[in-house]
Amino acid sequence: MPKQATVPATLSAPIVSELLRSQLGFSGLVVTDAMRMNGVAAYYDPGEAAIRALLAGVDMVLVPGDTDAALRAVSPP
């Protein structure tokens, strides 16, 4: 896992949940940019990236590197 300083904002609960939602009061949908971006794909597989984004407070994950893997990771068995 990368150091916290290298975690993209998309996967960061301190940024998405604490700053954006709590401190700034944003109540709209939070949508990722393409999860194939190198800042995510270089450090996380598609399933882990999708889970981390949702745990950070993101509402919609766009363009995962592997859609099937991302769906399997976030769907209950």
Q: What is the pLDDT of residues 25-57, one digit of tens each?
A: 999 999 999 999 988 999 999 999 999 999 999
Question: Looking at the 3D structure of the chain, how many domains does it have?
Answer: 1
Q: Is the pTM of this model over 0.85?
A: yes
**Using H for helix, E for strand and C for coil, what is the string for 48-73?**
HHHHHHHHHCCCECCCCCCHHHHHHH
Output 16 or 5, whichever has higher pLDDT.
Answer: 16
Known catalytic residues are 33
Provide the β-strand partners of residue 60.
31
